[in-house]
Amino acid sequence: VDLSPEELEKYRVKKNDILINRTNSYELVGKTGIVKLDEELVFASYLMRATVKPEYSPDYISFYMNLTTVKEELRGMAVQSNG
C-alpha cells in the first residue's frame, strides 16, 4: 500500500488494537479481533479500530464484543444493502 506519512499514521494499527467489522456480510458485522503482531500494518475501510488504554484488557473487550448477545445487538442496528 502506498500511503503518505499522514495517511499511514491515521490508519496504522498497533499491537493490541481491536479491529471491528463494520460492513461486509451481515453475519460478520460486529465481529472483532485483536492485532497480535508488532509490525507496520494498516486497517481496511470496512473495519473500525479501537485502541484501549494500557490498564484495560483488549482480550476481555474482544471476548465481550464477540458474545452472541452483543453481536445480535449490533446487527439490530445494521442496515443491509444490495450490491
The cell 507496520 sits on which residue? 40
pLDDT digits (tens, 9 = 90+) for 19-66: 998 877 777 888 899 999 999 999 998 899 999 999 999 999 999 988
The cell 473495519 sits on which residue? 47
pLDDT digits (tens, 9 = 90+) for 60-81: 999 998 898 988 887 777 776 6
CB-side exposure of 66: number of CA atoms within 13 Å?
12
Task: Indicate if the alpha-carbon torsion angle 17, 54, 7, 5 is positive or negative.
Answer: negative
Considering the entire predicted model, what is its pTM?
0.80
Q: Do 29 and 22 form a contact (C-beta atoms < 8 A)? A: yes
- Domain segments of the chain as ranges: 1-53
